[in-house]
Each structure stands twice: as C-alpha cells, then as structure tokens.
Amino acid sequence: MSKAIQTVIDGIFKIFETVMVICIATMLVMVFGNVMLRIFFNTGIDLSEEIPRFAFVWMTFIGAIVGMRKHAHLGVDVITQLLPLAGKKVCWGISQFIMAVCCGYIVYGTWLQHEILEGNASPVAQISMIWVFGVSYLTGTFIGIMCLFNLYRLLTGQVDESQLSDVMEEGMSEIDDLNAQVTK
C-alpha cells in the first residue's frame, strides 16, 4: 500500500479515536453533572438522559471499527492454533468472509430502516434517530472493507502466519519482540 494512502487511513482512524474520546468525555461530564445537580439542587438536565446514551452508541460502533484494525476484538483461537498453515488460512478466510457478509447485512438493514429512523425523533433532544443509529452505516462499511481487503491479501499470498489469528493477547507482543531480539 502506498505511503499516501496509508497516511490517509491513519488520519481517518485518528479521527475515529478522537470521536471516541469526545463521546466518553461527553458521557462523563453530562452524567456526572446531572448526578451532582440532582443531589445538591434537586434538579437535572433533561438532555443528560439522552445525549450520553447516544454518545455510548457512537463510541461502541466506532470502537468496533478501531478494534478491528488493531485486532483487539475477543476471539478464541485454541483450535485454529493446532491446525497446519493451510487450515489456518482456510479458517481465517472463512471468518473474514462471514464478517464481510454480516457487515453487508448491517448496512442493508440500516438502509431498510433508514426512512423509519429518519422520521423518528428522540423525545427530549428532538434529534432524528438516523443521527444516532446511522453510525451502523459507517461501521458496516469500514469493517466490511477491512474484511474484503484481508480476503484479497489472503488470496494474493500477502498474509503471514502470524497475521492469521485476529486475537491479540494482552502483553504478548512485548514477549514476541523480546524473543525476536534474543534469537538474533
């Protein structure tokens, strides 16, 4: 992949990570502020019921995209680790294909619901619900593209055995780096 394209992709994911930070900050400030208002002044902000919930939806869906790129999703690879290289490639290809199909269904399902969501407004903020749940267009599209790109890489022989497990064990990358340095 060219350096310019990689720079654009990195920029897009920085934007996603920034949106996630904004979402969590919004949730923190609005919920904490509303609790303090209720405790000390026996009042509250009505928007503090809806906006944090909407921010949570966005943070979750965008976090799924970022998690897919960083291989941070939960997974079980006990059986696939026992398979030979060809078996690992077949299983990984099947999983990428299934995820791409599911992403297609997510986008298609959102498209089917688009008119209904667009016509419904949230009770307090009066925001069209497509602004809340329309994030599934983004998630389905981005994860689907990543899965299709992974399938392309698999079919063209650009996938190493180390990449065939989408499970990143916490702290294991540091151990792998140390092992690589020791074996040099």
pLDDT digits (tens, 9 = 90+) for 14-38: 999 999 999 999 999 999 999 999 9
**pLDDT value for 59:** 96
**pLDDT value for 170:** 55
State the pLDDT confidence band at 90, using cuts at 50, 70 and 90.
very high
- Judge whether residue 179 has pLDDT over 90: no
User: Across residues 117-132, what is the average pLDDT?
Assistant: 92
**pLDDT value for 160:** 86
Compute, in degrees rounded to 10, the torsion defined by CA atoms 95, 97, 103, 107: -170
> Can you tell me whether residue 170 is helix, strand or coil?
coil
**pLDDT value for 175:** 57
Mean pLDDT taken over the chain: 89
Over residues 133-163, the pLDDT tens digits come to: 999 999 999 999 999 999 999 999 898 887 7
Closest-CA residue to 145 (of 91, 94, 107):
107
For residues 81 and 83, give the distance between their C-alpha atoms in angstroms, rounded to a whole number.
6
